[in-house]
Amino acid sequence: MTTGLIPGEQPPEPRPTEGLPQQRREPDGHGTMSVDNRSGSSVITARAAASFEPVGRSVASARSFVRDILQGWGFGDIVDDAVVLTSELVTNAVVHAGTAADVLCLRSEEGARIEVSDRYPEREIPVQSSAVNMGSPDCEGGRGLQLCAALAGRWGVEYTPTHKTVWFQLDLPQRPVGTRAAGPCLPADLLPLADSRVRVAVVQIDRAGTISSWNEDAEELFGYTAEQVTGKPLTDLAAWPHTPGTGTGIAEALQLSRWEGSYGVRGANGRVTPVYASHLRVRDTSGEPSTVCLVVRDHERAVLQTPSRGPSSDASGSSEGQGTDPFEVFIGSPAPDDLDGLLQRTVERARDMLDGDAAFLLLATDDETELEVRASTGLPSARQRFARVPVEAGPGRYGSARMPAVHDDLTAVPGAVPLLNSTGMRSVVTVPLKVEGRLTGSLGVAAEAPGRYSNEEALRLQFAADRIALAVESARLGELERLRRGSLSFLVEASDLLAGTLDRDQTLALMAQMTVPTLATWCAVYTIADQASDPYLSYVLHEDEELIDGIKSLLSKIPPPDPVPTPGARVWSAPGEVAHQAALRSSMRSLGLGGSPTRQVTPGIGPTLATAAAVGGETVVLPLVARNRVIGMLTLGKPTDEHFRQEILELAEDLSRRAALALDNARLYSERTAISQSLQRSLLPPDQPSIDGVEVEVIYRAAGEGNEVGGDFYDIFPISDGVYGFAIGDVCGTGPNAAAVTGLARHALRLLAREGLSGPAVLERLNSAILDEGARSRFLTLLYGELRPQEDGSAELKVVCAGHPLPLRLRQNGTVEPAAEPQPLLGVIEDLELYEETVTLDPGDVLLCVTDGVTERREGSRMLGDDGLAEVLTTCTGLTAGAVAARIMRAVERFASDAPSDDMAILAMRVPGLHVD
């Protein structure tokens, strides 16, 4: 939809009509057609235009557009007729004609003119002298023109080669000056109570949604100075309910041309003040839009509230024989299209109808055992939202919400209406809301004086309740469907996020971040290490980060909730009680009643009071149960005087089940990783011996995320004086079976070598030991050798290469050659005959031994291979053993962009020369 609003513009130029006639309907009742030249003397003072796509939802968007424009112009008396006509005409365009619709609103002193254009002009062109048959009232075709004829003062149809435009003119009713709306004269004792002066906060919001103006009354009402709030978004202060599946919020309300309704504002003391506000969207002289908000306390809403429109005295706008809908009479027209708006208007109309001091409406749960407070007026804020009371409240005929009841004096029947306990209300009338015999809610009106209501008032209220019950249930089911769709999307996203990590700390953070602020204002996660451990406070989150430390400190002083495995949310009252006690102590110290100087405790009062306000509402605990064991608890909290609604608790219960499984998976993964890493460390030598006359360097890199034990290993150990054994090998596969062979090989090599056996004998016995493992055996590639430094500065090596990548010898002149011959690998055949080869390393020579993770490094179809490794080694002449190993590792890592998929071990031994570069 595209819109444009141009106040003060002159009438547009007449559209080209190509000589076609323009239709006009005069309000004379004769049904004649005549030409309208649109040359009236009225001056167009403002215009607004919008275009709507050819989709079904555009009809509702067009209705909202016209309603907002006319209400913004102050034309509330003609809004209903204009919305009805626009709806029919836009339906004809976007649904029946299948084209986009252009809506133009023109304001003049007499009223408003609205034009609806579509792009389907191929219709029968009416002849001026011929009669027009607009069809049956029961058919959709032509009904828009019938409504124009019935409701509009003037109307017409224009045709062009590309457009067809239907327009209608609605004139404002003639009212004497000063009688826009009025109420009866009341005795002084019946007038509403107010403070010494009614304060009207004037707040201006700029284009970006931030506060640009804040008057003195706003400072008195909410405790903030203008300097503290200027430049901050109004959404930071407005306590607007956030519920999954609904999209209406304060940000959307600020974008409308005019808005009026109730919400809350968080004051400097942390408490939420219920307010009634009237918003008007304006533009300054430079064209910049902003919103002016007039705000009063909710119980003073009559100062700002727009009076309901009374029945029109203009007989020309009514149809004979048309009945009045009792629902519209009670609720008013147009009826709110959202559940909260419908319920709030219901309680206000019920209170006014019976001249009560308070009214409330509760909706029943699916099992009809409890009633949930959804709307109220004239009651403390603690009773307003989502508090629950049982359907059967007490003994006797007054104790059930299933029947109408009149209470002359609540003091005589304590607990008959639990919602009104400690509110000062004495008399009350309550009636049920029923649909097809099923209890769906309860509506009540209360007064501070006893004996105010009789059976006559109960019958009037029951009649009204019967008229609205079906509409309320329909709106409730619609809201429930939206909530369920939103909940499903929320749970799908939560499952994806929780499944995307196996880190315990990150899982705890995700649990908290998904619940705040979507489900709760703050949350805390307790974890239980094992059945013998107490719950531990692991994570705390609040939507205001400055309050996290205070809540954490407060919860640390409270014994944790009991780890009960029973599913569902249970109320935990300890945080609220401790918070209220802390706030009371802080207030007493601030007054100098705590036994210490006020100046010493003043700095701590603010955070304590803020924490108390944040934690002082309803707190619930949900168990985190995984694999039939309680592994923790999810605690959700609301600020002072707020309650959880049942749908939110059910959604939180679903989330807790998913979060518990994710948290337990993270715990199991962490334990498995720790075991794997510990086992991996046990398979590698704890230290590396120092060998006189030979430089030795080892680099070992395990692939993967640490959850599998690698099959590569190395070892360097002393055999006897001046003789050292070295080995580098690779067991087929990973995991426990490979680890068993790795541990067997490393320990067997040391034991057999120190028994004085030769290299071939050592490997032959190791081969027999591997085969003895049976099904757990794995074949093993192994390079084993014995190193003997010589007095002339050289080193003698005796090596056996059993199926392993051949060791490479780098000479001082830069030539590279294999230092052994390939022989059969271990763990495959029983009768294994091996032999050892002798290699002498001269000063400056290097012997390089690697596992196949180095030579089999791949990038697409390319592989490093033995030749590539030899080529890199030729560039290492003159380098120390450590530098050689580091260069080889860098070359392997740079060969491919992906992370290595196999373990890698590099063993470099160098006999230093006389000069080392």
| DSSP label of 421 | T
The whole-angstrom separation of Cα 809 and Cα 847 is 5
- Spatial separation of the C-alpha atoms in residues 828 and 122, rounded to whole Å: 88
pLDDT band at 192 (very low <50, low <70, confident <90, very high): low
Q: At what angle do helices 455-499 and 339-353 cross, to 10 degrees?
A: 160
Residue 785 contacts residue 726 (beta carbons within 8 Å): yes
Q: Which residues does residue 523 pair with via DSSP β-bridges, in sequence order?
A: 541, 636
User: For the chain, what percent of residues have pLDDT higher than 70?
Assistant: 79
Q: For position 603, what pLDDT does the model report?
A: 41
Report pLDDT digits (tens) over 75-111: 877 887 888 888 888 888 877 777 889 999 998 888 8
Residues belonging to the chain:
917
Q: 193 or 126: whose pLDDT is higher?
A: 193
In angstroms, how far apart are the furthest CA atoms of the chain?
130
| Segment 845-883, tens digit of pLDDT | 999 999 988 998 888 888 988 899 999 999 999 899 999
Alpha-carbon gap, residue 910 to 882, rounded angstroms: 9
Residue 505 has what pLDDT?
A: 84
Minimal CA–CA distance to 95: which of 64, 137, 126, 53? 53
pLDDT class of 314 with cuts at 50, 70, 90? very low
Q: What is the CA angle 33-34-38, rounded to 5? A: 130
What is the per-residue pLDDT for 457? 84
DSSP string covering 30-79, please? Answer: S----------SPPP-EEEEEEE-SSTHHHHHHHHHHHHHHHHTT-GGGH
Contact assessment for residue 826 and residue 767, using Cβ atoms and an 8 Å cutoff: yes
Structural tokens at position 318? 């009514």
| Alpha carbon distances (Å) from 640 to 269, 339, 449, 616, 738 | 11, 24, 29, 5, 60
- pLDDT in the model for residue 709: 59
Look-up of token digits 């002149």: 813
Quick one: average pLDDT of 231-250?
66
Q: How far apart are CA 664 and CA 624, in angstroms?
A: 9
Q: What tokens does 554 get?
A: 């407060």
Encoded amino acid at 95, one letter? V
One-character DSSP codes across 445-494: EEESSTT---HHHHHHHHHHHHHHHHHHHHHHHHHHHHHHHHHHHHHHHH
Nearest to 784 by CA among 816, 746, 812: 746
**According to the model, what pLDDT value does residue 399 have?**
56
At 318, is the pLDDT very low, low, confident or very high (cuts 50, 70, 90)? very low
Q: Output Rg (C-alpha) for the chain, integer angstroms.
A: 42
The pLDDT, as a whole number, for residue 464 is 85
What is the torsional sign of CA 421, 422, 428, 433? negative
pLDDT-wise least confident of 101-105, 204-208, 673-677, 770-774: 673-677
Query: So what's the pLDDT on residue 189?
Result: 67
Say what the pLDDT of residue 247 is.
37
| pLDDT the model gives residue 800 | 94
Placement of tokens 């003159």 in the chain: 878
Reported confidence tier of residue 485, pLDDT bands at 50, 70, 90: confident
Residue 288 to residue 286: CA distance in whole angstroms: 6
CA-CA distances (angstroms) from residue 196 to 189, 267, 304?
A: 16, 20, 18
Strands (DSSP E) found in 594-742: 619-626, 629-637, 695-701, 712-720, 723-731
SS3 763: helix
Round to whole Å and give the CA distance between 115 and 170.
Answer: 12
Torsion region of 473: left, alpha or beta (phi above 0 gives left; psi -120 to 50 gives alpha): alpha
pLDDT per residue as tens digits for the range 591-625: 665 544 444 433 444 456 677 777 877 888 999 98
Rounded Cα–Cα distance for residues 168 and 151 (Å): 9
> Which pLDDT value is given to residue 875?
92
Distance CA 747, CA 561 (A): 51
State the pLDDT at residue 788.
92
Select the highest-mean-pLDDT range: 237-251, 363-377, 457-471.
457-471
Distance CA 28, CA 342 (A): 39
CA end-to-end span of the chain = 76
pLDDT at 173: 79
Distance CA 104, CA 166 (A): 11
User: Tokens 């802080």 identify what position?
Assistant: 586
| C-alpha to C-alpha distances, 907 to 96, 785, 843, 888, 900, nearest whole angstrom | 81, 12, 18, 10, 18
Three-class DSSP category at 360: strand
- How many Cβ atoms from other residues are within 10 Å of residue 463's Cβ? 12
Cβ within 8 Å of residue 218, ≥6 positions away? 201, 202, 203, 224, 226, 295
Q: Is the dihedral of CA 584, 588, 591, 597 positive or negative?
A: negative
Tell me the C-alpha distance between 253 and 785, whole Å.
Answer: 81
**Rounded CA gap, 426 and 417, in Å?**
11
**Per-residue confidence (pLDDT) for residue 871, from 0 to 100:** 92
Residue 231's pLDDT band, with cuts at 50, 70 and 90, is very high
Q: What is the pLDDT of residue 608?
A: 63
The pLDDT-based confidence of 841 (bands split at 50, 70, 90) is very high
In this prediction, residues 247-267 reach a mean pLDDT of 76
Q: Is the C-alpha dihedral spanning 114, 117, 121, 124 positive or negative?
A: negative
pLDDT, one tens digit per residue, over 128-186 is: 444 444 444 444 445 567 778 778 888 888 888 778 889 999 988 776 554 445 555 66
| Strands (DSSP E) found in 732-789 | 780-789
Write out pLDDT tens, residues 682-738: 667 777 788 888 999 999 887 765 555 567 888 899 998 889 999 999 888 766 677
Are the beta carbons of 705 and 737 closer than 8 angstroms? no
**Residue 869 carries which side chain, given as an amino acid letter?**
L
State the pLDDT at residue 132. 42
Is the per-residue pLDDT at 565 higher than 60? yes
% the chain with pLDDT above 90: 17
24 Rama class: left (phi>0) / alpha (psi -120 to 50) / beta: beta
Among residues 803, 806, 785, which one has the least CA distance to residue 714?
Answer: 785
Cβ-proximal residues to 57 (8 Å cutoff; 6+ apart), any chain: none
Split at pLDDT 50, 70, 90, the class of 384 is: low
Residue 263, pLDDT above cutoff 80: yes
The pLDDT of residue 7 is above 50: no
The DSSP call for residue 820 is: S
Rounded to the nearest integer, the mean pLDDT of the chain is 78
What's the distance, CA 884 to chain centroid? 54
Sequence-ordered list of residues with C-beta below 8 angstroms from that of 702, at least 6 positions apart, any chain: 680, 710, 712, 903
Residue 411 has pLDDT above 70, yes or no: yes
Q: Quote the pTM value.
A: 0.45
Confidence of residue 116 (pLDDT cuts 50, 70, 90): very high
Question: Nearest 10 degrees: CA dihedral of 298, 302, 303, 304?
Answer: 80
The predicted pLDDT at position 3 comes to 44
Phi, psi of 98 (to 5 degrees): 75, 25
Between 560 and 120, the higher pLDDT residue: 560
Task: Give the mean model confidence (pLDDT) for residues 510-535.
Answer: 86
Distance between CA atoms of 16 and 14, rounded to whole angstroms? 6
Query: Alpha helices, DSSP H only, in 754-821?
Result: 759-771
Is the preceding peptide bond at 334 cis, omega within 30 degrees of 0? yes
Q: Which residues contact 85 (CB under 8 A, 6 or more apart)?
A: 114, 144, 147, 148, 151, 152, 168
Least confident span in 36-45, 115-124, 493-502 = 36-45
- The one-character DSSP state at 826 is B
Return the SS3 of 340. Answer: helix
